[in-house]
């Protein structure tokens, strides 16, 4: 009896050792994904969790290509503790950080150790911090020099991040750890920005949307090179996961629907049939990948395709393009994935996806023909709970030259569209649900428009040409980044009012145009880099925050000759980002520029000389730049350029709302504003 028991014990020990040995030989990613939930309650899982905690940097992320399950020596543990403050090589590449967060979530569900929860939340904060303002993510954060700064779709890096955020904001309980409400809100904002970035980076080939590149330049958003054999190209592999993410969105916007439809059409166009990839043994007895003919093979897609015509290509580490897999060396031929079948899953799901979102596919032309319950009160809701899902549809459906004011109420959401209020769309109001969450955004810029020297004026996100326009409680952005002239708001109309609004951009954020027109901005936030408030209209800015993002110029007025007032800032606050310390109040775009600051608080970023002549000595005589009763470190009247002015109190009294906005305007702009505010 004893011998039988002994034999059983030995067998069990052997089996246990075999299982442990097999576990240790598993890849780190498969350990996380392939094990049953109960395994995460084992001592083995707890031991691995200690390694995961040790490898995490204080910044919140992890380095890549670490087999976390491998036992650590005491010396290795001490070294990892020392490395806690090191921020080098922290990344989301090759699944790093994302997969460690998944592991922590799974073990926390079985063993609610607060250290696991805190490490997960630290990882989430790392992802949020790493995001670019334009919505993309770099491969490494903090940034690592070289191609690593590009927006990285490679190996699904950015899609992995967005999927984490989506699970959290949708509260699916896929992750066992629930972040605080404030973090969930940040995740929602980050997710929306990420989707917008995806829409902005979808490549246009001869004017037709196609797919995505593995990397996109973080400034221009154009396809970019990475390693020598990873040249800028359309990606059959990375684009697949991007489209699956877009197809998973509930109530997709028209832009998302267009992106999916365009990508699917491109997948159909670029699929390769009649071949398969086979591993054979070469003359040296080594495994070797080859392309063989097979009429029954499932379709494949090339990893890299030419931007101009979708032709597949292959590269060695010398970066020289080859037309076939056989032409590149053994190491790259067998050490890299040059073909993929991932888009096949999209083509299988596409028809069902179309049926689910069929209501979203109604043509805008048909929507604009519907009879509104109240044509003077229109609701826009991108989730489908209003009269229209896009702002432009609502504007297009509005009566021209209406008998009374048309109010378009815009519910919270990020509306990725280029909006134009036509000249015949007079007496329209845009009322946002909230300043922070009702967002209109687009990303055109000078070189992208490419229409010659006047391209700037076409880069707007919102263009207002209809008189008596009123806007309240919303944000208007141009998200193209620091790439030159890029307008967020272009106003070319009279009696236009904005209150409690935010305008975000870089160079040329706000353009106010139209000789003789009068505009009023009250309680608004306006930011930019160079000449970010410019134009020839007469404009009163009252109680606004004017934020400079870099060393440059705030205003570039082009006030027409003999115009009484140009730009007037009253009770405004001039602020700056940390890196901005040398900012001018203005410079003359045209010789008769007029800009005046009254009762404004000026930060120390304002230069002592205050004003610049734009290398136009004659403008020192013809322009009019003045200040009155301002405060702050930036207000230094004694050091201002000699050709600027400090107003007397008798002169400053003339700068009333009636004088600034009513001269030449009928009806009274002030009364119009008070009536509609």
pLDDT of residue 251: 87
Interatomic CA distance for residues 148 and 132, integer angstroms: 13
Mean pLDDT of the chain: 90
Identify the DSSP state of 417. S
Q: Which residue, 421, 464, 422, 418, is CA-closest to 443? A: 418
pLDDT, residue 285, reads 85
Report the distance separating Cα 388 and Cα 381, nearest Å.
6
pLDDT digits (tens, 9 = 90+) for 473-496: 999 999 999 999 999 999 999 999
Question: Under a CB-based contact definition with an 8 Å cutoff, are residues 59 and 87 in contact?
Answer: yes
pLDDT per residue as tens digits for the range 77-108 = 999 999 999 999 999 999 999 999 999 999 99
pLDDT bin (cut points 50, 70, 90) of residue 372 is low
pLDDT at position 327 = 95
Report d(CA 560, CA 536) in Å as an integer.
6
- pLDDT recorded at residue 673: 52
The torsion angles phi and psi of 21, rounded to 5 degrees, stand at -65, -45
User: How distant is the alpha carbon of residue 166 from its chain centre?
Assistant: 15
- pLDDT for residue 16 is more than 50: no
- Overall fold of domain 202-361: Glycosyltransferase (1.50.10)
Q: Give the pLDDT score at 364.
A: 42
- Looking only at the bridges linking them, the beta strands covering 321-322 and 314-315 are antiparallel
Per-residue confidence (pLDDT) for residue 374, from 0 to 100: 64
Domain ranges of the chain: 25-199, 202-361, 413-637
Comparing 9-23, 39-53, 185-199, which segment has the lowest mean pLDDT?
Answer: 9-23
Confidence band of 359 (pLDDT split at 50, 70, 90): low
User: Is the distance from CB of 600 to CB of 571 less than 8 angstroms?
Assistant: yes
Q: Between 470 and 358, name the one with better pLDDT.
A: 470
Closest by Cα among 102, 90, 160 to 130: 90
Average pLDDT over residues 139-156: 94
- DSSP secondary-structure letter at 229? T
Cα separation, 187 vs 165, in Å, equals 6
pLDDT at 4: 47
Q: What is the pLDDT of residue 409?
A: 95
- Say whether pLDDT at 394 is over 50: yes
pLDDT tier at 253 (50, 70, 90 boundaries)? confident
Please say if the pLDDT value at position 431 is more than 50.
yes
Per residue in 575-595, pLDDT (tens digit) is 999 999 999 999 999 999 999
Residue 362: the pLDDT is: 42
Percent of the chain's residues with pLDDT above 70: 91
* Phi-psi map region of 70: left, alpha, beta (phi>0 left; psi -120 to 50 alpha): beta
Is 50 exceeded by the pLDDT of residue 351? yes
Between the two ends of the chain, the Cα-to-Cα distance in Å is 94
Q: Please determine, for residue 637, whether its predicted confidence score (pLDDT) is greater than 80.
A: yes
What pLDDT does 313 receive? 96
Residue of 339 and 516 predicted with greater confidence: 339
Please write the tens of the pLDDT for every residue from 663-672: 444 445 555 5
Does 1 score more than 50 pLDDT? no
DSSP 531-597: S-EEESSEEEEES-EEEESSSSEEEEE-PPTT-S--EEEES-EEEE-TT---BEEE--SSTT-EEEE
Contact present, 183 and 121 (Cβ < 8 Å): yes
Strands (E) in 427-469, as ranges, are: 428-432, 438-442, 462-464
pLDDT at position 671: 56
Give the pair of three-digit tokens for residue 617: 């000595």
What is the percentage of the chain residues whose pLDDT exceeds 90? Answer: 84
Inter-CA distances, 83 with 76, 86, 116, 142, 673, Å:
10, 5, 19, 15, 60
Would the CATH topology of 25-199 be identical to that of 202-361? yes
Q: Over 60: is that where the pLDDT of 631 sits?
A: yes
> Which of the residues are catalytic?
508, 531
Could you identify the residue written with the tokens 């697949």?
A: 240
At residue 363, does pLDDT exceed 50?
Answer: no
**Which whole number is the average pLDDT over 318-329?**
94
Quick: pLDDT tens for 157-167.
Answer: 999 999 999 99
Q: For residue range 203-216, list pLDDT tens digits in order.
A: 988 888 999 999 99
Q: Is the pLDDT of residue 403 over 90?
A: no
Instruction: Please tell me what DSSP assigns to residue 309.
Output: T
Assigned CATH class of 25-199: mainly alpha
pLDDT in tens, 521-537: 999 999 999 999 999 99
Q: How confident is the model at residue 355 (pLDDT cuts 50, 70, 90)?
A: confident
What tokens were used for 173? Answer: 């309980």
Overall pTM surpassing 0.85 (yes/no)? no
SS3 616: coil
CATH architecture for the domain at 413-637: 3 Solenoid (2.160)
Q: Which two tokens stand for residue 452?
A: 């010659």
Q: What is the Cα gyration radius of the chain?
A: 30
pLDDT digits (tens, 9 = 90+) for 538-580: 999 999 999 999 999 999 999 999 999 999 999 999 999 999 9
Mean per-residue pLDDT for 624-634?
97
- Nearest to 439, CA basis, from 377, 376, 489: 489
Ranges assigned E (strand) in 266-338: 275-281, 287-293, 301-302, 314-315, 321-322
pLDDT band at 25 (very low <50, low <70, confident <90, very high): low
Which position has the higher pLDDT, 251 or 193? Answer: 193
């Amino acid at each position: 009896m004893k011998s039988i028991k002994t034999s059983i014990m030995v067998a069990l020990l052997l089996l246990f050792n075999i299982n442990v040995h097999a576990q240790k030989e598993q890849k780190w990613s498969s350990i996380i994904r392939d094990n049953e939930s109960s395994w995460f309650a084992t001592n083995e899982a707890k031991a691995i969790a200690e390694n995961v905690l040790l490898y995490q940097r204080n910044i919140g992320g992890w380095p890549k290509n670490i087999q976390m399950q491998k036992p650590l020596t005491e010396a290795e543990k001490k070294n990892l503790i020392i490395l806690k403050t090191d921020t080098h090589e922290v990344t989301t590449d090759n699944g790093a950080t994302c997969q460690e967060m998944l592991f922590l979530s799974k073990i926390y569900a079985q063993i609610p150790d607060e250290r696991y929860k805190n490490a997960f939340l630290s990882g989430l904060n790392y992802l949020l911090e790493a995001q670019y303002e334009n919505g993309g993510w770099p491969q490494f954060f903090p940034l690592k020099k070289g191609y690593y700064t590009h927006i990285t779709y490679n190996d699904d890096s950015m899609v992995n991040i967005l999927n984490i955020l989506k699970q959290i904001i949708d509260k699916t309980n896929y992750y066992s750890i629930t972040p605080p409400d404030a973090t969930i809100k940040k995740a929602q904002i980050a997710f929306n920005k990420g989707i917008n970035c995806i829409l902005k980076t979808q490549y246009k080939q001869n004017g037709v949307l196609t797919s995505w590149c593995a990397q996109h330049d973080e400034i221009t958003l154009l396809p970019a090179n990475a390693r020598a054999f990873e040249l800028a190209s359309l990606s059959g592999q990375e684009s697949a996961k991007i489209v699956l993410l877009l197809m998973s969105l509930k109530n997709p916007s028209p832009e998302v629907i267009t992106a999916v439809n365009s990508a699917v059409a491109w997948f159909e166009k670029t699929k390769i049939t009649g071949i398969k990839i086979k591993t054979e043994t070469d003359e040296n007895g080594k495994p070797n990948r080859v392309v063989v003919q097979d009429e029954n093979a499932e379709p494949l897609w090339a990893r890299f395709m030419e931007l101009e015509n979708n032709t597949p290509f292959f590269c060695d580490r010398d970066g020289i393009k080859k037309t076939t897999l056989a032409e590149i060396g053994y190491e790259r031929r067998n050490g890299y994935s040059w073909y993929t079948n991932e888009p096949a899953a999209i083509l299988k799901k596409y028809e069902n996806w179309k049926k689910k979102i069929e209501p979203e596919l109604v043509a805008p032309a048909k929507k604009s023909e519907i009879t509104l319950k109240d044509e003077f009160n229109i609701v826009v809701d991108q989730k489908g709970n209003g009269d229209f899902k896009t702002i432009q549809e609502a504007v297009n459906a509005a009566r021209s030259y209406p008998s009374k004011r048309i109010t378009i109420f815009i519910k919270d959401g990020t509306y990725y569209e280029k909006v134009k209020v036509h000249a015949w769309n007079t007496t329209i109001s845009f009322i946002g649900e909230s300043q922070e969450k009702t967002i209109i955004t687009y990303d055109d810029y000078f070189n992208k428009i490419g229409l010659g020297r006047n391209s700037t004026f076409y880069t707007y996100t919102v263009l207002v040409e209809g008189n008596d326009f009123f806007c309240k409680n919303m944000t208007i952005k141009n998200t193209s980044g620091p790439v030159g002239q890029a307008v967020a708001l272009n106003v070319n109309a009279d009696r236009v009012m904005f209150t409690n609004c935010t305008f975000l951009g870089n160079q040329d954020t706000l353009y106010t145009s139209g000789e003789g027109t009068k505009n009023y901005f009250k309680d608004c936030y306006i930011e930019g880099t160079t000449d970010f408030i410019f134009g020839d209209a007469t404009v009163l800015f009252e109680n606004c925050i004017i934020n400079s993002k870099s060393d440059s110029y705030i205003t570039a007025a082009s006030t027409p000759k003999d115009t009484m007032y140009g730009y007037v800032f009253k009770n405004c606050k001039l602020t700056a980002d940390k890196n901005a310390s040398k900012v001018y109040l203005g410079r003359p775009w045209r010789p008769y520029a007029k800009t005046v600051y009254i009762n404004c608080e000026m930060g120390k970023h304002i230069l002592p000389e205050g004003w610049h002549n734009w290398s136009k000595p004659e403008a020192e005589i013809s322009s009019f730049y003045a200040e009155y009763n301002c405060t702050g470190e930036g207000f230094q009247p004694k050091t201002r350029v000699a050709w600027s002015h400090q107003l007397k109190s008798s002169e400053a009294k003339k700068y009333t709302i009636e004088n600034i906005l009513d001269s030449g305007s009928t009806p009274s702009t002030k009364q119009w504003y008070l009536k509609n505010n």
